[in-house]
């Protein structure tokens, strides 16, 4: 038995003008549907959340992954 993909909720729940949670980066619809999603669907949501965070400048690659040294 595998462990279900956990919710990305960080208890900072507020939807912005685009209906995206400022805490976890899920859409309102993704939040509502989370409990009924398969693990594959949840992983797809997490990938979208990561991209949303990067697009907003909230998530950065470590320097070691960028190919630069400090």
Closest CA to 53 of 18, 12, 24, 10: 24
The phi and psi torsions of 27 (rounded to 5 degrees) equal -75, 160
Q: How far apart are CA 59 and CA 48, in angstroms?
A: 13
pTM of the model: 0.81
Q: Residue 70 pLDDT > 50, yes or no?
A: no
- Per-residue pLDDT at 1: 74
- Residue written as tokens 């693990």? 39
The domain ranges of the chain are: 8-58
pLDDT digits (tens, 9 = 90+) for 45-67: 999 999 999 999 988 777 666 65
């Amino acid at each position: 038995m595998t462990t279900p993909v956990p919710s990305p909720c960080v208890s900072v729940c507020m939807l912005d003008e685009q209906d995206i949670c400022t805490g976890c980066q899920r859409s309102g619809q993704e939040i509502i549907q989370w409990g009924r999603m398969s693990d594959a669907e949840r992983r797809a949501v997490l990938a979208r959340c990561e991209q949303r965070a990067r697009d907003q400048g909230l998530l950065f690659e470590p320097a070691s992954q960028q190919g630069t040294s400090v």
